[in-house]
Amino acid sequence: MEVFGTPLDPISIGIGIGIGVILITLLSPKTASSSGQIINPSIQKNEPKVATMCPLQDIEDSISKSDKGVLAYCRCWRSENFPYCDGAHAKHNKETGDNTGPLVIKK
pLDDT in tens, 25-50: 777 766 555 556 778 989 999 999 99
- Map residue 65 onto helix, strand or coil: helix
Which pTM value belongs to this model? 0.62
Least confident of 6-10, 28-32, 99-103: 28-32
Angle at 19 between CA 18 and CA 21, to 5 degrees: 65
Distance from C-alpha of 40 to C-alpha of 62, rounded to nearest angstrom? 25
- Which residue numbers are catalytic? 49
- Reported as a single tens digit per residue, the pLDDT across 52-88 is 999 999 999 999 999 999 999 999 999 999 999 999 9
